[in-house]
Structure 1
């Protein structure tokens, strides 16, 4: 009889999405197996934009500071036609940013991956390189998987399988989920180069009659990413390799002047796709990241969306594996993430077509439209902030999904929203912190706002310790002038109260104006399928 290996979770693909999934599961006490067909970690930069929402999740895990030390903040964008500036947005002009990271952090993808690989290594969860998925057979109880490592075939029985294996996902193919969409016309190029004396604060987009070119600063010593569409005569050249000499005339034609490039680090040409999986889950298998959705690099949404997929799914899957939640909660992963993916595909597709697919006779009108639009936005800080929130994925919410239960008055923060970043004065420790810092322990956070008696507070504390001793953390913020912004955001008056249940991924699950712990029990048990019991056994 063949030897069979067993695991609760098999993650296929060790890119940013798969690594984030593994790191999140470890955070919740689940030890996954993660494989990748490559011989080892990537050494190329690939995706370079890490948005504020991803940084918030990495901060929750204690990984944001090491990543910030390795990259460069980008504080806005500038549109140009040659040397003529069409418009500019400066994120530093936001009066009250909605995040502790009011910029786009530019860092090579391999650095982000290394940070996550190091976290896995610290938790004795190494990536099994040179191991590829061959087949999956699944039913409602188990997924039987065949893997190949060089010449060795391994058989595994897995409770769950995560497909994080990119646009050509073997997991997606094995479970028969279609990948609907199409490639964009033409081929595109990426080049990482060194440019002397260029602006390091802003991303530059050149909109000429000859085509589109993006220039993004990252790293130190004048390192930049170039991105553009190859002309038709360069699309079908015999060799798949491309040299900077091939694109140098294109770059300078679109920029309108000679670009002082002193060194070339990496260059590639490729097709772009707009695709989305018909489903994000089937029986025991889930798709995340590029295995579930791919779109253009405009806005740097791809890697960041995959990181959020992982954060959304991991706590739910860990809750099921640890026997605390009913498996029905897993159905909310596609219900929450598929609408976000569709919206992102729509937005990036429109932006990309404006940049690259406008007929030549309409270009002056296009440029005028973009110039007027940017200048309109730049006139008011609140408009800049709204655009930044959208780019940085801070405005993603799950208000219409089943896990969002809003039983409160007011039009401020709603159940399903991302927990807002709000500085606070901690009355207990007499220190300054923020709401996100209160979410750094794995598990749920129960936030009590308003004026509550010590007796009532003591009762709530006892209830949390008895019912959710390791899974829920209690924080109380009494009404005070120091924390007025928090109470205004949640629509709490000086004599009012509010209970806010924050999910492990820092989205809000439940809000109520009444301080009644039985309502939280009802939410946990009826909405999440929570199981309270003394001895913790695994229920799959």
Structure 2
């Protein structure tokens, strides 16, 4: 690290594991180039296999990295006698490799064998004293993100902690119940995605810092249940069927026997997938529509959509997969109204808001049914970059969009 070249940065990420790398990739989507450091001399590694759950796979798919991940993984049901074909087991080095490749393509370096010696407050951010190969460097940053326990104090967080002024905490650094490396990998990655787009908007000067408060509110409120099921998912495949730990072996055998029951297996899969995690309680979630099947705060369902322009089927998540927020208009709109609204979006929010229009057609009847929308009605949905629904209204209006973006998201 050159003293003159690296003096100022928007974001410093401590830890080059899956959570830190995912956060870096998310920031790069918005043009924010973070600095990443890690105490280790080389790439993240962890013994055993990691189970990648359905929600985490969706985020790799969003980045176009799912195929590379699957090429190095095995289906969970090949490792153990359980029907878990839609989850992947993968070695940790293969999990981080696609993320490392993406960072390399974006010329975003990682500083290995580097640690934080001291953190102090500056006029416009934080002043970081770094140790690298026995030399001291000073770095001025706006935001500091820990992905592992605080390297300065060397202590685990006594209670869950998500933010502290200009310091943010994701993954193991939050001090959740599950703190062993690899044990809560899916929750760690989802923390990174949730924080990533918010921090990018704030660091890029497009939103007020208060937006970051929603990260703590949303991720702290996740019940322990998904974490417990994630622990089972990670540990069960890696324990041998026989061994000295007879109690653990017996517990695993009982779990396998229970999962032979189709009803219990269905419940297990639903909890394990983490697809049901919702942010309905979040201050960013505003629902002003009659339908209740999918509400503001819920994950955007990955439904099949027929694209009228390309005349091809795609998934709703892939269709809305753009950096920034997506304004999805559904129903029947006249061409003049659609043109006026699209021009307003281009002029007002050219870099942060994408507009998509889905008119009714028999090919999209299932999508309209899922959102409880009649063919002759309209619905306006704002989709967050992490593929959660932020805003729903049965009225289409530029004024309502602006009220949400400025009054709720805090766009400037």
Q: Is the alpha carbon distance of 1:519 and 1:113 closer, same or farther for their aligned partners in structure 2, counting shifts above 3 Å?
A: same
Aligned counterparts of 1:485 and 1:70: Cα–Cα separation in 2:
34
Q: Provide TM-score, normalisation by structure 2.
A: 0.88
What corresponds to 1:225 in structure 2? none
Contact 1:133–1:170 under 8 Å retained in 2 = yes
Aligned residue for 2:411, secondary structure, equals coil
1:438 to 298, 315, 319: 319
Cα distance in 2, alignment partners of residues 508 and 13 from structure 1: 30
Q: How many residue pairs were aligned?
A: 401
Distance 1:386 1:487, change over 3 A: farther
Q: Which residue of 1 aligns with 2:242?
A: none
Three-state SS of the structure 2 residue aligned to 1:170 is coil
Q: Provide the residue aligned with 2:41 in structure 1.
A: 39
What residue in structure 2 maps to residue 170 of structure 1? Answer: 151
- CA offset at residue 315 of structure 1? 0.7
Quick one: distance in 2 between partners of 1:50 and 1:353? 12
CA distance in 2 between counterparts of 1:407 and 1:417 reads 14
Partner SS state of residue 7, structure 2 = strand
Task: Tell me the residue number matched to 1:457.
Answer: 338
Paired residues of 2:328 and 2:383 also in contact (CA < 8 A): yes
Aligned partner of residue 153 in structure 1, secondary structure: strand
Map 1:55-454 to 2 at 5 A.
55-75=57-77, 90-91=83-84, 103-138=86-121, 141-164=124-147, 166=148, 168-170=149-151, 173=153, 179-180=157-158, 277-295=159-177, 302-340=184-222, 342-345=224-227, 373-376=258-261, 378=262, 384-454=265-335
Q: Is the 8 A contact 2:184 2:227 kept in 1?
A: no
Q: Distance in 1 between matches of 2:294 and 2:192?
A: 24
**Structure 1: which 5+ residue stretches go unaligned?**
79-87, 93-102, 181-276, 532-540
> Closer, same or farther in 2 for the Cα pair 1:281/1:139, shift >3 Å?
farther
* Equivalent position to 1:28, from 30, 46, 53: 30
Task: Let me know the Cα RMSD of the aligned residues.
Answer: 3.1
- TM-fit CA distance, 1:481: 2.0
User: Structure 1's 64 and 286: CA in aligned 2 closer, same or farther, altered over 3 A?
Assistant: same
**For 2:151 and 2:323, how far apart are their aligned partners in 1?**
32
- The residue that corresponds to 1:526 in the other structure is 407
SS class of match (1:463) = helix
| Equivalent-residue separation in structure 1 for 2:277 and 2:163 (angstroms) | 21
- How many angstroms apart in 1 are the aligned matches of 2:105 and 2:252? 51
Quote the Cα distance in structure 2 between the aligned partners of 1:12 and 1:67.
24
TM-score of the two chains, using structure 1 as the length reference: 0.68
Deviation at 1:476, TM superposition (A): 1.2
Q: Given that residues 381 and 393 in structure 2 are in contact (C-alpha distance below 8 angstroms), is that contact kept between their aligned partners in structure 1?
A: yes
Q: CA deviation at 1:130?
A: 0.8
Provide structure 2 residue ranges, at least 5 long, that are not aligned to the other structure: 240-245
Partner of 1:253: none
How far, CA to CA, are the matches of 1:65 and 1:47 in structure 2? Answer: 18
CA apart distance, 1:13: 0.6
C-alpha separation between the residues in 1 aligned to 2:53 and 2:227?
17
1:157–1:338 distance in 2 versus 1, CA, 3 Å = same
- 3-state SS of the aligned residue for 2:120? strand
User: Any idea what the Cα deviations from partners look like across 1:183-209, whole Å, max 9, x if unmatched?
Assistant: xxxxxxxxxxxxxxxxxxxxxxxxxxx
